[in-house]
Amino acid sequence: MHKWRNIPAVWKATPLFLLFFWLALNSMVWDSPTMDEQNHLARGIAFLRSGGDSRLSLEHPPLINSLSALPLLTLPDVVVPFDHPSWSEMSPPDTYWYVFAEQFLWQANHDVTRMIFLGRLPVVFLTMGLALVGFHFARELWGGSAGLLALFLLLFEPNILAHGRLITTDLGGALFSFLSIYLWWRLWQTAVWRWRRWLWAAVALGLAFGSKLSTLGFLPILGLLAVLPLYPSPPGPYWQIAGRRVGQLGTAVLLALLVAWAIFGFEWGPFRFPSETLQFLNSASGPMPTFWAGLDQILNVSRGGRAAFLLGEFSDQGFLLYFPIAFLVKTPLIILIALPITAILLLWRPQTRRQALYLLIPALYYFALSMWSGVNIGYRHLLPMLPLLLVLISGIVSGVQVSGDQGSSVRLQRKRNTDYRLPITDYRSRFTVHGLRITLFALPLLLFLETLAIHPHYLSFFNVAAGGPDNGPRLLSDSNVDWGQDLRRLQLWMAENEVDSVKLGWFGTAVPTYYGLQYEPMPGFPRPEFYSLWSSPPFDPAQPEPGVYAISASSLWESHWEHRHVYPWFRAREADDRVGYSIWIYRVIE
């Protein structure tokens, strides 16, 4: 044990990063482009190649999209369709970025697989950055071993792994909001205004604003954290010290908005607020109008809701219990068990209570904010709270840290006794230390086993208590289980099983013909050749014609429709085979 402590942290962490990198690459190379990836990649390359024009970045700021598109600049033959009406005329209204992305990925270019692979690489590195932030945060809070445990949890939690390999803004938004919360913790450890720490905290806040608009939701909770007594108490009136922290946050927001403006390429132009309440401002011009219009759009969508599917039910206004249920069924079982135990232990101990509250308060706040939103389309919207909870869980090992560690760790010493009898308190200490050491070993081991069991299908992860990924489509849909990731695997399945053609109920934006698939379209979403068939299915729903049917899970459960009358015959039967966990195969014979 002593030799293990003497190994530098970088040598302990390097094998974990290498293992994560292999798992990420090994899984993502066979994932076909998921539902939103073409939109994000098109936004990023258009922003870079146009010299900073952010017209496509209405709901998603350009930082993460641009990072994803950077590797595409190494491909000189990549064509960006700036001559298409979806760019020059921004038509059709409200969906022009979807049309532009379709033109970019599937019409103007012919190496989709390479482009998607390169676009995913930066997100993989951002995920590694997220784990590094968690390592440093946990080490400062709880000690060195906790830092290593947090690193492990953040690298191998299957939901983080699922979205930490895709071209979206979800992981990037989680990273920079988490980094911001960590840097504010460091700044508020002293009453002195440390300008360098303040500057880094402000920049991190700006990077969060430039990554994902929902990160602005953390501003009120940062204001609350600024006035709570969670930090060392210097001499002087409490409210004076708290007021200084509020002042630090307020001035940092101004700098953060300047950073966000820089990310938008210092855009200046007429405002274009979509809501009627703010449209009177559209006659004026100002900085980053796309940012403000996007924020207005997100708020409108959050209040109005989108099509949602939960436990077999449909709603266009969202479900109040959507995210609580999603969290319970898609979070690894060992995390669900460790979380309340760790929270109680850390809140019970005065030495760790403040640190635990600093992590729990923003996590619970963000969870409540997500429940208020009417946008119920995936566990991925909970990602910003997940690093906070995993760092909290890493605090379970704080009782076995050595005295040289930082944070609130406690050194438990053995006492020699000449007659080899130990006092009862030492027996308790030994029991506690051994129990925590067992936990330190069992927690990552059980998590890793859950992660390996789902490899390479991380998007479809559901814990054992929820019935696993086989039962997932009955509980949730969309990015929780089926985001169009298995089209390339369907191509392999057809070749291996000598199936020339399938009847395909496709859910996804990828183009099946690009992969050489022979198919007859059936009702699906959102490509027109599939979407248009819902009102008049090309088969008898009561008694389907013979053939091989390949139906995406979200199409099978008709998750985007209130009346599910197309696929009930298939839902009532066991599938004959499955491609990944998102495409179900049925062989119908006479």
Residues 143 and 9 sit within 8 Å (Cβ to Cβ): no
Exposed (0-12), middle (13-18) or buried (19+): which is 349, by Cβ within 10 Å? middle
Report whether pLDDT(556) > 50. Answer: yes
Contact yes or no for 184/224 (Cβ under 8 A): no
Q: CB neighbours (10 Å) of residue 451?
A: 20
Number of helices followed by number of strands (H, E) in the chain: 24, 11
Residues 396 and 528: their CA atoms lie apart, in Å, by 52
HEC secondary structure over 144-187: HHHHHHHHHHHHHCHHHHHHCCCCCCHHHHHHHHHHHHHHHHHH
Domain ranges of the chain: 6-75+116-394, 470-588
Distance from chain centroid for Cα 526: 23
Confidence of residue 188 (pLDDT cuts 50, 70, 90): very high
Taking the model in full, what pTM does it have?
0.91
Mean pLDDT of 99-119: 94
Amino acid at the residue 347: L
Q: Please, which residues have CB within 8 angstroms of residue 489's CB and are 6 or more apart in sequence?
A: 30, 32, 579, 580, 583
Q: pLDDT band at residue 107, thresholds of 50, 70 and 90?
A: very high
pLDDT of residue 399: 55
Any idea which of 6-10, 170-174, 375-379, 460-464 has the lowest mean pLDDT? 6-10
pLDDT of residue 460: 95
Nearest to 381 by CA among 347, 330, 346: 330
Distance CA 505, CA 515 (A): 16
Q: Is 264 helix (H, G, I), strand (E, B) or coil?
A: coil
Segment 205-210 shows an average pLDDT of: 96
Residue pointed to by tokens 């007594």: 229
Q: Beta partners for 551?
A: 505, 584
CA-CA distance, 68 to 63, in Å (whole number)? 9
* pLDDT greater than 80 at residue 92: no
Q: Which residue has the tokens 């506690």?
A: 432
Taking the C-alpha atoms of residue 39 and residue 10, their distance in angstroms, rounded to an integer, is: 37
d(CA 13, CA 132): 9
Radius of gyration over alpha carbons of the chain, in Å? Answer: 26
Contact at 8 Å (CB) between 96 and 57? Answer: no
Q: What mean pLDDT is reported for the chain?
A: 88
418-461 per-position pLDDT tens digit? 333 333 344 445 545 555 666 667 888 999 999 999 999 999 99
| pLDDT for the residue 498 | 93
pLDDT at 397: 82
Confidence of residue 317 (pLDDT cuts 50, 70, 90): confident
Q: What is the mean pLDDT of residues 272-294?
A: 89
Mean pLDDT of 91-115: 88
Q: What percent of the chain has pLDDT over 90?
A: 69
Q: Determine how many CB atoms are found less than 10 A away from the CB of residue 173.
A: 27
